């Protein structure tokens, strides 16, 4: 048995991703975003989160997925990593699960291994359900905007 951990589960398209709960500050419904000019296209702007100005990025855009319309289900997950506070726009976020750290396998080797960078690993929740664990510090590494292809299998 490895360590027990709690993970926030969110969706981008059909896939489910996980972020350790202690990295997540809050989950907010969609709110007005102020556009910031002259920056990456996936940076949607800044929001006012109870008096603090926080940049938000569209995680679909960050991973090179086609951007989607915002719906009732769209959420902004505020994460804290590397002393940065950033909001992630995701399709939905509605689950917290307990995970055994042993059940996380190292990310699959894909040609070039580029997309693996953003991942901590893949957790198998059930036979059909796989959860992609995000490597936040890499996702927030703004020096690098590399397309992450959709992960299969």
Chain residues binding another protein by CB under 8 A are 32, 34-39, 43, 45-48, 51-55, 57, 82-86, 140, 142
Closer by beta carbon to another protein, 99 or else 140: 140
Q: Are 125 and 107 in contact (CB under 8 A)?
A: no
Closer by beta carbon to another protein, 47 or else 93: 47
Q: How would DSSP label each residue in 16-72?
A: EEEEEGGGEEEEEE----B--SSS-TTEEEEEEETTEEEEEEEHHHHTTPPP----T
Closer by beta carbon to another protein, 89 or else 151: 89
Instruction: Give the shortest CB-57-to-another protein separation in angstroms.
Output: 8
Tokens of 114: 């580029």
Judging by beta carbons within 10 Å of its beta carbon (0-12, 13-18, 19+), is residue 22 exposed, middle or buried? exposed
Instruction: Give the shortest CB-85-to-another protein separation in angstroms.
Output: 6
Instruction: Give the shortest CB-121-to-another protein separation in angstroms.
Output: 24
Instruction: Give the shortest CB-102-to-another protein separation in angstroms.
Output: 32
Closer by beta carbon to another protein, 5 or else 90: 90
Cα separation values, 150 from 16, 29, 63, 89, Å? 11, 25, 8, 17
Closer by beta carbon to another protein, 19 or else 122: 19
Instruction: Give the shortest CB-47-to-another protein separation in angstroms.
Output: 7
């Amino acid at each position: 048995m490895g360590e027990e951990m709690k993970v926030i589960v969110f969706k981008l398209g059909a896939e489910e991703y996980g972020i350790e709960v202690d990295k997540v500050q809050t989950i907010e419904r969609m709110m007005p975003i102020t556009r910031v000019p002259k920056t990456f296209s996936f940076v949607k702007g800044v929001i006012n989160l109870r008096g603090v100005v926080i940049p938000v990025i569209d995680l679909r855009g960050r991973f090179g997925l086609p951007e989607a319309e915002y719906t009732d289900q769209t959420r902004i997950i505020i994460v804290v990593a590397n002393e940065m506070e950033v909001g992630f726009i995701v399709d939905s976020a509605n689950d917290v699960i307990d995970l055994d750290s042993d059940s996380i396998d190292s990310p699959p080797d894909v040609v070039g291994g580029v997309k693996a960078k953003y991942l901590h690993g893949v957790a198998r929740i059930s036979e059909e359900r796989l959860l992609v664990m995000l490597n936040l510090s890499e996702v927030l590494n703004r020096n690098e905007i590399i397309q992450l292809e959709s992960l299969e299998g």
